Chains A and B, each alone.
Chain A
């Protein structure tokens, strides 16, 4: 008579649990880690230090005169205060010596790039708090790691379409295609 295999003979619950954990580790940790490239800002810029001086977001992240959004400040803007080293932080010294004094713009990494087919305008969203879409940078002493999806090329923090649509719907704003797409 043939011997029947039972679960106890195949090792019990332990291999199952180990396999499950291994699969979860691959899916939740290894794959996301492999999917996103990690890069660091060329200068350790501290939003926190600047916020503590009483500066607001739009003191540096300005709208241009034509209503478009200038995004990150350039050397001209930063140089208003940092034409020379004003503090004791080595990162600031590096910034002044390597960029300001050489008239070279810093190749800052953008955390939330828009996909090519999206037309987003900051001027229409000025009634919103910055932190509704952006991380609260005022608590941030050193810039977070920038993570970019190796397959799509999108930044990890790029807003998803459902996030835009939900806010539009909640605020009674049109969700017609050409409101956001180009």
Chain B
């Protein structure tokens, strides 16, 4: 499949040295995207976590033991592995901004995309969503509810981009060059530590432009060549080493 380039490239930069693993990003994501509370959330084969925080450590004993937390949204890959395997084109990467779309009514639930995604960013609805009485009033209009039998994933809260464009049209601002704060994902705005930064990595006016070009920036499993649009930043080398499968003799690749 030919790789598409867009003028806007929405990117997320997550500072792993700042993240405390509080999980506010996960909670805000569930609220924004109408993910129903699960009957048994301890069954991790059935939970739906578009944004998921993983814990990592450096494998050393006290007092050298260190931990880091890694929030994992959908990577919105430049060359997504999930898209070409979909037999019904329910997922695609063809829109300006480069967000990988997922259309639930078209999805047949074959889960090829889940098998293809090396980041485990996709989730299958084993059950119909059940919202406790009264909670349906708190549902967000930004994301449609999914029935059982379809796959879902993080969409970089792309309805918020639509709202930002509405504002830009109203205020006479170019929709292709909006202020960074007009379009922010739910996890970005909820993060109490300012760990997550979100913006157009092609736009020098956005903070992420500099961040993704930092020598401390890396992406997960970069050598698979999927070209993810989520970057991680850490000054600790052991954290960067965990971003890919390096040989013992290798040093973590410095981002060019």
Contact = CB atoms under 8 A, between A and B. Distances in A.
Given A117-B104, A117-B144, A119-B162, A174 B95 contact: yes
Interface stretch (B18-26, B165-173, B204-212, B213-221): B165-173
Interface in B154-210: 155, 158-159, 162-163, 165-171
Contacts of B145: 116
A167 to B, nearest CB: 18
Contacts of A4: none
Given A117-B144, A178-B95, A179-B95, A123 B170 contact: yes
B167 A66 contact: yes
Contacts of A101: none
B57 interface: no
23 contacts: A63-B170, A66-B163, A66-B166, A66-B167, A67-B169, A67-B171, A68-B163, A116-B144, A117-B144, A119-B159, A123-B170, A124-B166, A124-B169, A126-B169, A174-B95, A176-B94, A178-B95, A178-B101, A178-B158, A182-B143, A182-B144, A182-B158, A182-B159
A176 B95 contact: yes
Contacts of A63: 170
A7 B170 CA distance: 72
Interface of B: 92, 94-96, 99, 101, 103-105, 142-145, 155, 158-159, 162-163, 165-171
A163 to B, nearest CB: 17
Contacts of A116: 144-145
Interface in A82-122: 116-117, 119, 121
Contacts of A181: 101, 103, 144
Nearest to B166: A67
A181 B94 CA distance: 13
Residue among A65, A126, A176 with most chain B CB within 10 A = A176
Interface in A117-146: 117, 119, 121, 123-124, 126
A1 interface: no
Contacts of B166: 66-68, 121, 123-124
A121 B104 contact: no
Contacts of A66: 163, 166-167, 170
Contacts of A117: 103-105, 144
Contacts of B101: 176-178, 181
Contacts of A123: 165-166, 169-170
B5 to A, nearest CB: 14
Given A67-B169, A67-B170, A121-B162, A177 B92 contact: yes
Contacts of A182: 142-144, 155, 158-159, 162
**Most chain B C-beta atoms within 10 Å of own C-beta, residue among A67, A119, A182:** A182
A119 B144 CA distance: 9
